Structure 1
Amino acid sequence: MRHAITLTLLSLCAFGGKAFAAGPMPAAAGDSFSAGAGLAYVPEYAGADKSRVIPLPFIERTFANGVFLSTMRGIGYQTQLGDFNLSGALSYDGGREDHKENYFSGSDALKGMGKIQGTAQAVLSVGYNIGTVGLSLSTKQNLSHREYGYTFALGASTALYTTASDQIGLSVSAEYGDKKHNQTYFGVTTTQSAASGYRAYTAKAGFNNLTAGLNWNHVINSSWSVYSAAGVTRLTSDAADSPLTKRKTTPMLMTGLIYKF
């Protein structure tokens, strides 16, 4: 879930003009290599009432044949088939701690809930443009710990303002979790209830959040760019009603400096 929250934030921002989670990236025009670092302000977990600032290291290598290696998107392949952009990647979700390990990980509000283990994931995406609006459908399927379930995400993005040095865009998305996923992250079993003090709660399948945000890409020169995003996520349905949810609406911010070699 730590990785999922970070990717939700990055879905608001376009690195190198290529949206991370708003849809699969277009087929690469050639080899490229980018590296950088930034900071993000995100909740301790989905539904937490506390947020923190975390570092965002970024390295991405793309090849003309469509293969990419990325600290954010994982290892994968992207291509264009007619009007559709397709992407598949092997990624990793860091799970969730039930206590505050350090400033950057965990939350004491989850004591007694037990640890959600990290898991490898297959991330599959398809995108399609209608005029200036980009539409996307993606899914995250756990390769290990399949008992944690899976998610689907619908997204849309569009450019609001574009010049040679600045690009501003709007992105919106909605995530659907199956029963296993929503129960894992928002449910409370009787055993967890006894250990944590939260009331027992069963979360059903359904849309669990809506996210909207603005992104701004400022090009300094041919090598350096600054990428920023500001957004808000609203938990919905059973996720919003979960006893673990202390804050249904949370802001997210990020900024980063990227160098393209």
Structure 2
Amino acid sequence: MRRSSSRAVLYTGILGIGILAGLAGPALADPDLANNTTPTPGTDIMLELGAAARVAPAFPGADNYTLYPAPIIKLRFLKLPIFGTVADSSKNVGLGLYPAFNFEGERDAADHSELRGLRTVKWAIELGAGVRYTGDFVEAYAEVRRGFNGHHGFVGELGIDAVARPSDRLKLKLGPRLSFADSEYMSTYFGVSSGEATASGGRLSAYDAGGGFRDMGLQFGAEYAWSDRITLYGDAGYRRLVGDAADSPIVKRAGSENQFTAGLGLTYRFSWNVDGK
């Protein structure tokens, strides 16, 4: 099965490269609607739900790419009984917590001749949490996730973006990224056991991948408010594998240290009143 690594991060959503030209959408009744996510009185939940088409390496460290669909989920506003407002993205400045999700598809050597001899790594779900700071001209975040099924390690990411708003509809972001993983994750995707080395016919040497920094790179994005309910998203990024990930024979002999990603999608904003009033 081809890799299908997507991120649907509640509250933050995916970053975007936008459609920077030819976006002559319908006129907004309010010129500030692109940045206005304030719920109407009585609203308890405001969600943006949508989908994106993404291009990414076929497996961690691969030099070939695959196209796949990915969900987009953004929690804009949440009000709970007793607790009150627990999430509100209309607050443009401050700290916020969010749950984080990632999916790594199955890596099967039968689908990739360059991986001959390696065991199959089942699909994995990563669940965790993050903290984000949002300012007028800068955004930063840090998140940690734990894997289930295909791997049981911990992975995390740090990022900071410079933010520009050329118009009321368009928001641009650009900034560096740094990711890390523990030895459980690294050995699963970048390690090679002695048995696997033998099964590969000697093409891949035995390798014990330890935890540490996994990659570093740069991400560019934008989001465009087509209307008060429809938003366009996308992203384009470059990561370079470092440390034990870069030194893995899977990367040296069967892949590449250079990893590129891109995506484009849209969401529709929904609002609900829990008690129906």
Q: CA offset at residue 156 of structure 1?
A: 1.1
Supply the distance in 2 between the matched residues of 1:160 and 1:11 (Cα, whole angstroms): 17
Q: CA offset at residue 150 of structure 1?
A: 1.2
Q: CA offset at residue 117 of structure 1?
A: 2.5
Q: Which residue of 1 aligns with 2:267?
A: 258
Q: Which residue of 2 aligns with 1:184?
A: 188
Residue 146 of structure 2 is aligned to residue 132 of structure 1: no
Q: CA offset at residue 145 of structure 1?
A: 6.4
Match for 1:217 among 197, 220, 223? 223
1:258 is aligned with what amino acid? T
SS in 2 for 1:175: strand
Match for 1:122 among 88, 107, 127? 127
Gaps spanning 5+ residues in structure 2: where? 19-36, 81-85, 271-277
1:65 is aligned with what amino acid? K
> How many matched pairs?
231
Supply the distance in 1 between the matched residues of 2:108 and 2:67 (Cα, whole angstroms): 17
Q: CA offset at residue 126 of structure 1?
A: 1.7
Q: CA offset at residue 212 of structure 1?
A: 1.2
Which gives a bigger RCO, structure 1 or 2 (Cα 8 Å, sep 6+)? 2
Residue 60 of structure 2 is aligned to residue 56 of structure 1: no
Q: CA offset at residue 122 of structure 1?
A: 3.0
Q: Contact 2:181/2:214 (CA < 8 Å) preserved in 1? A: yes
SS in 2 for 1:181: helix
Q: CA offset at residue 223 of structure 1?
A: 2.1
TM score, norm. by length of structure 2: 0.70
Q: Which residue of 1 aligns with 2:198?
A: 194
Match for 2:158 among 142, 154, 178? 154
2:142 is aligned with what amino acid? L
Q: Which protein has the larger Cα radius of gyration, Structure 1 or Structure 2?
A: 2
SS in 2 for 1:204: coil
Supply the distance in 1 between the matched residues of 2:172 and 2:87 (Cα, whole angstroms): 24
Instruction: Summarize the Cα distance change of 1:78–1:92 in structure 2 as closer, same or farther, 3 Å threshold.
Output: farther
Instruction: Summarize the Cα distance change of 1:213–1:126 in structure 2 as closer, same or farther, 3 Å threshold.
Output: same
Instruction: Summarize the Cα distance change of 1:166–1:235 in structure 2 as closer, same or farther, 3 Å threshold.
Output: same
Q: CA offset at residue 50 of structure 1?
A: 0.6
Q: CA offset at residue 133 of structure 1?
A: 2.3
Q: Contact 2:147/2:154 (CA < 8 Å) preserved in 1? A: yes
Instruction: Summarize the Cα distance change of 1:38–1:89 in structure 2 as closer, same or farther, 3 Å threshold.
Output: closer
Instruction: Summarize the Cα distance change of 1:181–1:253 in structure 2 as closer, same or farther, 3 Å threshold.
Output: same
Q: CA offset at residue 63 of structure 1?
A: 5.3
Q: Which residue of 1 aligns with 2:24?
A: none
Instruction: Summarize the Cα distance change of 1:143–1:65 in structure 2 as closer, same or farther, 3 Å threshold.
Output: farther
1:6 is aligned with what amino acid? S
Residue 67 of structure 2 is aligned to residue 45 of structure 1: no
Supply the distance in 1 between the matched residues of 2:225 and 2:136 (Cα, whole angstroms): 24
Supply the distance in 2 between the matched residues of 1:144 and 1:198 (Cα, whole angstroms): 25
SS in 1 for 2:240: strand
SS in 2 for 1:238: helix
Per-residue CA shift, 1:17-71, capped at 9, x if unaligned?
Answer: xxxxxxxxxx9965223333321111101211111221224455665237xxxxx
SS in 2 for 1:185: helix
1:69-148 pair list within 5 angstroms? 83-88=94-99, 93-100=104-111, 107-129=112-134, 132-143=137-148, 148=152
Match for 2:173 among 155, 164, 169? 169
Q: Contact 1:12/1:212 (CA < 8 Å) preserved in 2? A: no
Instruction: Summarize the Cα distance change of 1:199–1:12 in structure 2 as closer, same or farther, 3 Å threshold.
Output: farther
Instruction: Summarize the Cα distance change of 1:212–1:236 in structure 2 as closer, same or farther, 3 Å threshold.
Output: same
Q: Which residue of 2 aligns with 1:103?
A: none
Per-residue CA shift, 1:128-182, capped at 9, x if unaligned?
Answer: 3466322222111235566x42122211122133421111111322111112211
